[in-house]
Structure 1
C-alpha cells in the first residue's frame, strides 16, 4: 500500500505551498472527463519510483479557548495518526517559535519519523540561521523554498528514506477483495452485515488471513472473498465531521487494495456531490467497480422507475459509463447476493487479456470505419496495438504521430474495445507511443 506523508506545522510557514509543490510534481495522465474531482486536502505524489499519499493540514495552534484552533489541531493529530512519515514545516526567516516547540513536542509523542523542512530559504549558498532548528531534537533541518521548488528533491529523498520496503504482500489465496465505499448512512455496514449474516456465508476462522480489524474473510458458493469495510466514513457529529475528512485516507487505502469496489448510493437521495468525489477516486485508481443503489425498498415505483434512476446516475457519473448498476436493499436482503455474482464477473473483466491478433483486427476495423484525420500534411496512423497489462486492462497504440491523436479518438477506440471484448465494470487505459520503425507512407 502507498505510504502516507503528513505536512504539519504552525500557521503561515508554507505548508500548503509545499503540499501544492509536491502534489504538482506528480506525473499522471489527466483525463478530459467531467465530474472527476479531487479534494485538495490530500493528493498522490511519487519520488524515485515510490508512490505515496500526501496530506495537507491546517496551522496547529494551542489556544484551547478557540474552537477552531481545537478542531484544526484535532485534524492535524488525525493526520499524524494516519501518517507513516511527518514533514514538519518551519519558517527559516523567523526561527524557532514557542508554537514550533509545542508542535515538536506533539510529534515526539507520535513516535513517527519526522523530517524537518526549513522553508522560505532564498539563498542556499549562505550559512543561514536554520541550524537553530537542531534544538528541536528531531534531526537535520533541510533548507527548502516551497515557493520556488528549491531543494525539494533533497527533502523528498529524506522522506522516502523512512518508507518501509515495497514488499510483495501475501495474497489471501484466491479471495476476491471487495471494498465498500460511500457517504455516511448509505448502508455500507448494513450491506456487510447482511452478507455475513446469511446462513450460506461462512466466516473464515483461519488465522493470518486478515490485515486489519475491518477486514472480514468469508466464503459464498465456494468462492473466497475479503470484505474491506470503510466504516470510518459513517461519523456525523460536528467534531467527528472533521474526523471524517481523514477517514477518506483509509478509504483510499481500501480502494488501492481492492479487486472490486462497491460504490454505494442512497436511493432516497440520488447522486450527491460527495458521491461523485468518491466515485472519482475509484476511477482514478483504476479499480473494477459496481454502482450499488441501496434502500431500493424505500422508493415508490412504477414501470419506469429503474430506467429513470439509470438515466440520472449515468448523467451524474458519466465517467463510470462502464460500471454495472445494481438496485438492492440491505435491510430486506433483496438482490444482495446477486451483487457477489456481478463482483465475480467484473473481477474477471478487470483481469481479461485480449489476443494481440484479435486486438489489432478490431482496431483496424474501427479505423477503417472512422479513419484518423490528417495532420501537418501527413496522414496520422496507428500502426500496431498490444495489451501490456491487466487490472486494469492497458493497451499501447504505436503511432507515427502519437501527439496528433486526439483524446476523443481514443474514446472512440475504447468504445470499440468494449463493444467487442466487454470489459464491463473495469476502466481501460489507452497509451500512445511513437512507432520506432521508419514510416515511409
Structure 2
C-alpha cells in the first residue's frame, strides 16, 4: 500500500488529523508540543482506495537545542519513505520561521506535497489560510481536523496524488517471509546466507520500503519471497528518528508478509522489543517463527541449555507459546535452511481448513471434557462450529448465549483446537454467535 506521511512543527494538530483520518483515538492530543512519542501508524480508506498513514509527531526531540536538526532529519527521512506528504500548518499562528524551513526542505521532494492549513474552523480563518500559498506548493487545503470541516475535498486530493496500485489481476501466491528483529541481530546475514546458498534468485521486486528490495527465490522447487527490512540508507544523527522509521518499516513488513520470522540475539535473550514485534504479528494474524540467532557464540552450553532457554522465552510470552523456536547461526549457516523449512510449515498451517465434521467431533470432545460455564443461572450450550475462513484461520461457534463464553473458556477451546489440529505458529480467531 502507498504511504502518506504527516509532517510539520509541534502543536499544529498532526495527531488530531491522524485521528480524524484513521477514525481512531490512538494519537494522544495535548496542547503541549512534543506529546507524541510512540510510532503512530494506521490505515485510511476513502472512495474505495486504502493507504497507510504515519504521524511523525513522535520525532520531536526532548532537548530544545536539538530541535532544528531533528526537524530537518524528520523531513529528510519522510521524503525517503513516503509516497505523499501532508505538510500541516496552523492558521492561528500563520507562517512561522520553522514552517518556512520545513517548506524549503519539502520543495526538494519529488513526491506530491499537500499543505494542510489546520484549525480553519470558521470563514475568517479559511480566508486567513490563503497566506500559506506563499509556501510555494501547488495544493493547499484549509480544514479543521478537530471537527472534520473540509476533509472531504482534501481526501479526494490525497487519493488522486497516490501512485497507481499494482495490477491486482497478477496474483502472486508465493509465500512472503519477513525477517524482523532488533538492529544487529543478524537479519541481513541470515537472508544473505540463504540467498547465497540457494544460488537461484529468480528476480528482484520492489519491496515495501523505498530503498529496499524483496528477494524472490526458488527454494527446494518452491518460489518464495524474503521480505527485506534492512536499515535506513542514510545515517541520521537523531536517534529518535532512526528508531521511528525502523519501527515504521517493521510495521509495513508485518503488514505485507505471511510469516514473520523474529530473530532474537542468543546472547541477550528475549527483550521487550522482541515481544512487542511478536504481539504485533499476533494482532495482525500473521504466522510466526522465533529464531534464536548467534547460537554459536553462546558459551557454556550444556545438554539442556536450548531447552531451558526456549521454556523461559515461552513463559515470558505467555499466550504465544504456540510459536515454534529454532536455534541457528546466520554466521555459520547452522540450521539456516531449517528456518525456511519451519516458516513454510507455518505458512501451510495458516492456510489449513478443517472439515466441519472433524471440527465438531473435536468440539464435542472438548465440551464433554470441560463444559462451558453457566451464565445467569443457565447452562451455555455450544451447538456446533464451523471454520469460516483460512489464511488466517477463523472459527465460528454457535451457541445459545455467546455473552456467557468468558476469555478463559475461549482459551480452553483454542488449546483443544491446537491439540487436535495443530496450527503451529498461527494465531487463531474464535468468534461466538447466537443460534
Residue in 2 that maps onto 1:40: 38
Would you say the 8 A contact 1:47–1:156 is kept in 2? no
- Aligned 1:166-177 pairs, distance under 5 A: 167-168=167-168, 170-171=170-171, 175-177=174-176
SS in 2 for 1:180: strand
Provide TM-score, normalisation by structure 2: 0.84
Structure 1 residue runs without a partner (length 5+): 28-37, 436-441
Separation of aligned partners in 2, 1:264 and 1:333: 14
Would you say the 8 A contact 1:175–1:224 is kept in 2? yes
Would you say the 8 A contact 1:131–1:141 is kept in 2? no
Separation of aligned partners in 2, 1:296 and 1:59: 35
Structure 2 residue runs without a partner (length 5+): 27-35
Separation of aligned partners in 1, 2:37 and 2:364: 40
Q: Which moved more, 1:11-20 or 1:49-58?
A: 49-58
Would you say the 8 A contact 1:42–1:55 is kept in 2? yes
Residue 256 (structure 1) aligned with residue 265 (structure 2): no
Q: 1:59 to 1:282 in 2, by over 3 A?
A: closer
Deviation of the 1:265 alpha carbon: 0.4
Residue in 1 that maps onto 2:330: 330
Would you say the 8 A contact 2:288–2:425 is kept in 1? yes
Would you say the 8 A contact 1:89–1:116 is kept in 2? yes
The Cα offsets for residues 286-319 of structure 1, whole Å up to 9 and x where unpaired, read as 2112100011112221122112201221123234
Residue in 2 that maps onto 1:80: 79
Residue in 1 that maps onto 2:341: 341
Would you say the 8 A contact 2:39–2:247 is kept in 1? no
Residue 143 (structure 1) aligned with residue 149 (structure 2): no
Residue in 2 that maps onto 1:301: 301
Would you say the 8 A contact 2:278–2:288 is kept in 1? no
Would you say the 8 A contact 2:189–2:330 is kept in 1? yes
Separation of aligned partners in 2, 1:232 and 1:88: 25
Deviation of the 1:379 alpha carbon: 4.1
Residue in 2 that maps onto 1:432: 432
SS in 2 for 1:330: coil
Separation of aligned partners in 1, 2:217 and 2:7: 40
Would you say the 8 A contact 1:235–1:244 is kept in 2? no
SS in 1 for 2:231: helix
Provide TM-score, normalisation by structure 1: 0.82
Residue in 2 that maps onto 1:202: 199
Separation of aligned partners in 2, 1:255 and 1:119: 32
Q: 1:15 to 1:167 in 2, by over 3 A?
A: same
Residue in 2 that maps onto 1:396: 396
Would you say the 8 A contact 1:177–1:228 is kept in 2? yes
SS in 2 for 1:116: strand
Across the aligned residues of Structure 1 and Structure 2, the Cα RMSD in angstroms comes to 3.2
